[in-house]
Amino acid sequence: MGENDANITFFKDGLRLDDRRADELRPLKIEVGVLARADGSCYIEMGGNKVIAAVYGPREVHPRHLQEVTRAIVRYRYNMASFSVEERKRPGPDRRSYELSKVSREALEPVILTSYFPRSVIDVFVEVLQADAGTRTAGINAASVALADAGIPMKNMISSCAAGKVDGQLVLDPMKEEDNYGEADMPIAMTPDGQITLLQMDGHMTPEELKTALAMAMGGCRQVYEVQRKALIDKYNQMEPEIITDQEQPQEAEVL
């Protein structure tokens, strides 16, 4: 987090490096049910981030000693592919991925009704295929959709988004350059009714800036929620055309 070491001009005519306004999200694309093997899955693109999430369970807990008698445990594995960043990332878990797994799990756990499935586990796997700042938020968004797709009872969806500070100005959903050379980055996760389940920050912000940034990030989360919701609803509406053709087939057969 240097003070703009790279001497990049972050704003031009009030627009950012990728022609976004300060309070604009990167393009967002969500696909539901992309993996046949998993109980629930989701693929998400948030700007340059490409992340896939798979949910398995509730299923039997192995190793057995982790099992809880009264509720399901949730395991969340955040992992970056070695090819997801410019310089090859050494494969396997590291300090950073342990931390992100923990905070992401804690962001999702409050909405999952774990008491419905005692002595079981809900496994969430999040694989980052391409990273471009804000992979944890993309991972949480994908995991939330994948959990819904797996038919797991939840009190609400979770949407996640970051706000940051670059060149003294607050921005929504920082991209790689803004994250690397900016002054602060603050990812949050929340339910659509505004209950925050994740709030992290690195860098520096004044208390006033933090309040504004929080409001910005919350606005971003609401936009993400609408895309998540649409992706889930469309999965079943898309199937309608198939049904119409099936209805027409018998009539054709009678003509023959």
Partner 1 sequence: MDRKVVIPGDLLSEEAKRSGEGTFVKDGKVYSLLYGLANFKDKINVIPLAGKYVPSSGDSVIGIVKDVTFSNWIIDVNSPYDGLLHVSEYPRRVESDEMSKILRIGASIMTRVKDVDSTMKVELTLNDRKLGVLKTGRVIEISHTRVPRLIGKGGSMISMLKRELNCNIFVGQNGRIWINGSADDMDLALKTILLIEKEAHTSGLTDRVIDYLKQEKRARS
Give the interface with partner 1 as residue ranges (CB under 8 A).
39-40, 57-60, 69, 111, 113, 116-120, 148-157, 191-193, 228-229, 232-233, 236-237, 239-240, 242-243, 246-247, 249-250, 253
From the CB of 250, what's the least distance to partner 1, in Å? 4
Whichever of 3 and 234 has its CB closer to partner 1, that residue is 234
Separation between Cα atoms, residue 52 and residue 67, nearest integer Å: 27
235 and 32 in contact (C-beta within 8 Å)?
yes
Separation between Cα atoms, residue 225 and residue 145, nearest integer Å: 10
13: its two tokens = 């005519």
From the CB of 153, what's the least distance to partner 1, in Å? 4
From the CB of 231, what's the least distance to partner 1, in Å? 10
Whichever of 98 and 116 has its CB closer to partner 1, that residue is 116
Number of neighbouring beta carbons within 10 Å of residue 125: 20
Whichever of 9 and 247 has its CB closer to partner 1, that residue is 247
Number of neighbouring beta carbons within 10 Å of residue 135: 24
Whichever of 190 and 210 has its CB closer to partner 1, that residue is 190
Whichever of 4 and 120 has its CB closer to partner 1, that residue is 120
From the CB of 215, what's the least distance to partner 1, in Å? 21
Whichever of 54 and 131 has its CB closer to partner 1, that residue is 54
Under 8 Å CB-to-CB from 144, ≥6 apart: which residues? 108, 157, 158, 159, 160, 228
Separation between Cα atoms, residue 92 and residue 28, nearest integer Å: 28
From the CB of 20, what's the least distance to partner 1, in Å? 28
Whichever of 19 and 193 has its CB closer to partner 1, that residue is 193
Separation between Cα atoms, residue 100 and residue 97, nearest integer Å: 5
What is the DSSP-derived secondary structure letter of residue 64?
A: G
Separation between Cα atoms, residue 189 and residue 197, nearest integer Å: 5
From the CB of 160, what's the least distance to partner 1, in Å? 15
- Crossing angle of helices 95-108 and 135-149, in 10° steps, is 40
From the CB of 148, what's the least distance to partner 1, in Å? 4
At 164, which helix (H) or strand (E)? strand 159-166
